[in-house]
């Protein structure tokens, strides 16, 4: 092969190589990138188990303190700023946990309670009714979904606070009442969010979430429509069933639209059998997907 022909072939190879670089560079620059995030059901389920492993999260206990520290660490690792709001009610210390990004007032508050009940007052075994509730579904499931949302929520959506309420679950016990944490939070709330969405008992392996009667009708219908659009109409049932005194009520009392997403028919509610084995990763994912999709519908409102 002559030197001239070698140069011609070399020129062709170089031209092809440069063309490939240009093409790949163009594809890399112009390929659309998805900003959506995926809810990790298995990671959320591990968060349920972690909370139960701490022990009953009763205010004032070591397990409760460990849970506060752990939630704070999880949120900060996901890039959120965290405030522990200290207060007191009926002689009990209260620590509500608020997570936020930036200084904007919230458009949306997503909430869940992280404490557990002192007594398993609904346990079928009378001998166990003075034992504490492990709280896999009643407490840990809502927290797990919120933590996974903290890891997956895009930063360019509606301004959102994540709030973990303390001291929700010990009503009808002498010296206690329901909703102590959320009442304290709302009493000190200066912002006026457009909506508050409560996640409480959302991991039942046989998940069924009818509309809660006290919840704001417009907000409720908006979320349930999103669930139906995602194919979850057989889980988010489009009919009311119960009126539930839950952490959304103080917001409603303050004139803030609020909704309770809850499966109150969970058979192990307030028993010693409220354990991770009765919580499903798929159920956590269902609720997480609905909330993520609904938040997208609120972005331009």
Residue 270 and residue 174: Cα distance in Å, rounded?
17
The answer to whether residues 160 and 153 touch, using CB atoms and an 8 Å cutoff, is: yes
142-152 and 62-77 helices, crossing angle to 10°: 20
Sequence spans of domains, the chain = 1-30, 39-297
The answer to whether residues 248 and 196 touch, using CB atoms and an 8 Å cutoff, is: yes
Nearest of 235, 222, 227 to residue 265 by alpha carbon: 235
Average pLDDT along the chain? 89
The answer to whether residues 58 and 118 touch, using CB atoms and an 8 Å cutoff, is: yes
Residue 158 and residue 256: Cα distance in Å, rounded?
17
Architecture (CATH level 2) of domain 39-297: 3-Layer(aba) Sandwich (3.40)
Listed in sequence order, the residues at least 6 apart from 216 whose beta carbon sits closer than 8 Å to its beta carbon are: 195, 252, 257, 258, 259
pLDDT of residue 156: 84
Model confidence pLDDT, tens digit, residues 67-96: 999 999 999 999 999 999 999 999 999 999
pLDDT of residue 300: 66
Q: Residue 273: how many CA atoms within 13 Å on its side-chain side? A: 10
Higher pLDDT, 23 or 265: 265
Nearest of 41, 49, 273 to residue 140 by alpha carbon: 49
Model confidence pLDDT, tens digit, residues 238-247: 999 999 999 9
Report, in this order, helix, strand and coil percent for the chain, each rounded to 5: 40, 20, 40
pLDDT for residue 128 is more than 80: yes
- Across 250-273, average pLDDT: 98
- Across 194-214, average pLDDT: 98
How many H helices and E strands in the chain? 8, 8
Would strands 81-89 and 92-100 be described as parallel, antiparallel, or unpaired?
A: antiparallel
Identify the weakest region by mean pLDDT among 19-23, 208-212, 217-221, 252-256: 19-23
Identify the weakest region by mean pLDDT among 24-38, 49-63, 184-198: 24-38
pLDDT for residue 257 is more than 50: yes
């Amino acid at each position: 092969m002559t030197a001239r022909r070698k140069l011609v072939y070399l020129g062709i190879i170089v031209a092809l190589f440069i063309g490939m670089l240009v093409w790949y560079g163009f594809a890399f620059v112009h390929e659309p990138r998805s900003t959506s995030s995926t809810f990790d059901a298995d990671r959320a389920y591990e968060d349920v188990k972690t909370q139960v492993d701490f022990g009953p999260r009763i205010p004032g206990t070591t397990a409760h303190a460990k849970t506060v520290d752990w939630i704070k660490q999880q949120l900060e690792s996901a890039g959120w700023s965290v405030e522990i709001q200290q207060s007191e009610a009926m002689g009990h210390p209260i620590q509500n946990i608020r997570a936020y990004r930036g200084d904007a007032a919230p458009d949306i508050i997503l909430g869940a309670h992280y404490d557990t009940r002192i007594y398993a007052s609904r346990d079928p075994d009378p001998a166990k009714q003075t034992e504490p509730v492990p709280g896999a579904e009643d407490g840990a499931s809502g927290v797990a979904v919120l933590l996974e949302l903290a890891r997956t929520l895009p930063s360019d959506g509606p301004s959102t606070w994540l709030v973990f309420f303390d001291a929700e679950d010990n009503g009808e016990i002498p010296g206690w009442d329901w909703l102590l944490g959320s009442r304290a939070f709302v009493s000190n709330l200066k912002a006026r969010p457009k909506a508050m969405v409560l996640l409480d008992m959302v991991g039942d392996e046989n998940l069924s979430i009818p509309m809660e009667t006290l919840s704001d009708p417009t907000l409720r219908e908006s979320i349930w429509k999103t669930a139906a659009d995602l194919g979850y109409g057989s889980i988010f049932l489009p009919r009311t069933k119960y009126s539930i005194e839950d952490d959304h009520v103080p917001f409603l009392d303050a004139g803030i639209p609020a909704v309770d997403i809850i499966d109150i028919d969970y058979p192990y509610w307030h028993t010693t059998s409220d354990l991770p084995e009765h919580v499903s990763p798929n159920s956590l994912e269902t609720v997480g997907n609905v909330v993520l999709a609904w938040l997208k519908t609120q972005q331009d409102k």
